[in-house]
Structure 1
Amino acid sequence: MHKAGLSQIMVRPLPEQSLLFDYHAKGDYTDCFTIDVAGDVSQQQFVIAFYTSRLFKVERFVLKWLVAKPSTDPEAEKLANGSIDSFAAWTVEGQEPNQLLLCDYQGRTRSWLMAKPVGKGAEAATRLFFGTGVVSATNRKTGRRSMPLPFRLLLGFHRRYAKALLRSAVMRLIARESSVS
Structure 2
Amino acid sequence: MNGAVAEVQLPPGALLERYRAGGGHVDCYVAEVPRSVDLGQLITAFYTSRAFRPERWLLGALLGKRAGDDDVAQLASGQAARFSAWTVESRQGDEILLCDFQGRTRSWLMVMPIEGGTRLHFGSAVVPSASSADRAIFSLLLGFHRFYSRLLLGSAVGRL
- TM-score tier by shorter-chain length is over 0.9
CA distance in 1, matches of 2:50, 2:3: 20
CA distance in 2, matches of 1:88, 1:127: 26
Question: Secondary structure, in 3 states, of the residue corresponding to 1:75?
Answer: helix
Question: Secondary structure, in 3 states, of the residue corresponding to 1:25?
Answer: coil
- Structure number with the bigger relative contact order (C-alpha 8 A, sep ≥ 6) is 2
- Note if 1:17 corresponds to 2:13: yes
Structure 1's consecutive aligned runs of 4 or more residues displaced over 6 angstroms after TM superposition are none
- Counting only pairs closer than 5 Å after superposition, residues 28-177 of structure 1 correspond to structure 2 as 28-119=24-115, 124-139=116-131, 148-173=135-160
- Over aligned residue pairs, what C-alpha RMSD do you find? 1.5
Whether the 8 Å CA contact 2:22–2:128 is kept in 1: the answer is: no
Whether the 8 Å CA contact 1:134–1:147 is kept in 2: the answer is: no
Whether the 8 Å CA contact 2:22–2:127 is kept in 1: the answer is: no
Q: 2:72 is aligned with what amino acid? A: A
Gaps of 5+ in 2: none
Gaps of 5+ in 1: 141-145, 174-181
**1:54-76: CA deviation from partner (whole Å, max 9, x where unpaired):** 11111000101111100011111
**Aligned-residue identity in percent:** 44
Q: Measured at CA, do residues 131 and 125 of structure 1 come closer, stay the same or move farther in structure 2, by a change above 3 Å? A: same
- Please say which structure displays the higher CA radius of gyration: 1
- TM-score, structure 2 normalization: 0.95
Q: 1:134 is aligned with what amino acid? A: V
- Shift, 1:39, TM fit: 1.2
Q: 1:49 is aligned with what amino acid? A: A
CA distance in 2, matches of 1:23, 1:163: 20
Question: Secondary structure, in 3 states, of the residue corresponding to 1:159?
Answer: helix
**1:36-94: CA deviation from partner (whole Å, max 9, x where unpaired):** 11010111100111001111111000101111100011111110111010001000001
**1:139-178: CA deviation from partner (whole Å, max 9, x where unpaired):** 59xxxxx9622222110000000000001101111xxxxx
Q: 1:61 is aligned with what amino acid? A: W
